[in-house]
Amino acid sequence: MNRKYNFSAGPAVLPVEVLERARDELLDWQGSGMSVMEMSHRGKEFISIAERAEADLRELMSIPANYKVLFLQGGATSQFAMVPINLLRGRGKADYINTGAWSKKAIAEAKRFCEVGVAASSEAQKFMTVPAFDNWQLNADAAYVHYTPNETIGGVEFHWIPETGDVPLVADMSSTILSRPVDVNKYGVIYAGAQKNIGPAGLTVVIVRDDLIGEPLPGMPAMFDYKTYADSDSMANTPPTYSWYLAGLVFDWLKQRGGLRAMAEINERKSQKLYAAIDASEFYANPVDPACRSRMNVPFTLADASLDRDFLSEARTAGLLTLKGHRSVGGMRASIYNAMPESGVDILIEFMADFERRNG
């Protein structure tokens, strides 16, 4: 097996143990004589897979009983619309925090449905920091407050949870979910595309408090109503069954590794050693405010941008893949989600040091 270290921001690396188990079960899931891809989503075999996956996710995240867990299609970007459709509930305004590319996309979509108040923004700081909470201009009459705890492109992360009082807090946790413990009680809605820390692309997980279900905007399609999925155990139509199954394998893998507290320690160690290597160098730089650096996505630049192509080419030869930064930012980006082993970060650091010695 010729596995390399894949630093892609998403679809991202999956645990080898999960891939091996999926391989072993591909043709015949636990004696059923069928692949999971071939199963009826309403058959007892897949129902057992779905129920186990939800139970494991609830255990990992300590999700309270008064929250529904929905397994949906459409990606996190569909939630940019589904959140206002379901949460406006007679109000005409929602507050958004603008910290980068994904926040801006969420804001643009929400403007189709309501007045958007940008309660805080770090755009003037080129999205290299998180706005200080003391400066937020929150509206007590807002239907909800939306923020992006981690911006994958800019590598900026909240290391705290905003306090929004009685106004429901909504979070796009696509790139941080399951990377550390989180107090679900502080949120009205948490949503996440799967293809970073949950599993393969095609699945979106939504965790929504019960009291926020059931009053969508008038005239909206039934398939954009959270109640449609809450009432059908996410099976109002055929769900992304194989992605759901693989997500369940990832949840089980996380439990076997000690859960989210254990993952938080590993992720902290991985990110800190990479940032330390960057900070100790005059050849590499990270532009993000150190207090807001992402533990999942680490962007960095070379002192001489003309060396970028050589860096990427040599990195690929060394088995280090998908390190090119987002086109809007440039430079490099190492995404080090849960499934990226610590050895991958160590080898990346060694390669960076060697490249600097030869080119610095």
| CATH code, 259-359 | 3.90.1150.10
Dihedral of alpha carbons 206, 210, 216, 220, sign: positive
Among residues 95, 172, 225, 233, the one annotated as catalytic is 172
pLDDT, position 217: 97
Mean pLDDT over the full length of the chain: 97
pLDDT, position 71: 98
Among residues 68, 95, 104, 196, the one annotated as catalytic is 196
Could you give the CA distance from residue 228 to residue 211 in angstroms, rounded to a whole number? 15
Dihedrals phi, psi of 258, to nearest 5 degrees: 105, 5
Could you give the CA distance from residue 349 to residue 359 in angstroms, rounded to a whole number? 15
Catalytic: 29? no
Q: Which two tokens stand for residue 178?
A: 């399951």
Q: Which of 227, 195, 217, 228 is nearest to 110 (CA)?
A: 217
One DSSP character per residue, 150-218 reads: EETTTTEE-SS----TTSPEEEE-TTTTTSS---GGG-SEEEEESTTTTSSTT-EEEEEEGGGSS-PPT
Catalytic: 253? no
- Residue 357: strand, helix, or coil: helix
pTM: 0.97
pLDDT, position 40: 96
Structure confidence by residue, pLDDT tens digits, 47-80: 999 999 999 999 999 999 999 999 999 999 999 9
Catalytic: 172? yes
pLDDT, position 262: 98
- In this structure, the chain runs to a length of 360
DSSP-derived secondary structure letter, 337: -
pLDDT, position 173: 98
Q: How many CB atoms lie within 10 A of CB 292?
A: 21
Burial 184-222 (b: 16+ CB within 10 A, else e): eeebbbbbbbbbbbbbbbbbbbbbbbeebbeebbeeeee
Structure confidence by residue, pLDDT tens digits, 202-253: 999 999 999 999 999 999 999 999 999 999 999 999 999 999 999 999 999 9
pLDDT, position 329: 81
* Residue range(s) in the chain whose domain bears CATH number 3.40.640.10: 17-256
- Is a pLDDT exceeding 90 seen at residue 188? yes
CATH 3.40.605.10 assigned to 17-256: no
Among residues 29, 102, 244, 253, the one annotated as catalytic is 102
Angle at Cα 142 formed by Cα 210 and Cα 232, nearest 5°? 25
* Residue range(s) in the chain whose domain bears CATH number 3.90.1150.10: 259-359
pLDDT, position 1: 64
Structure confidence by residue, pLDDT tens digits, 311-344: 999 999 999 999 999 887 889 999 999 999 999 9
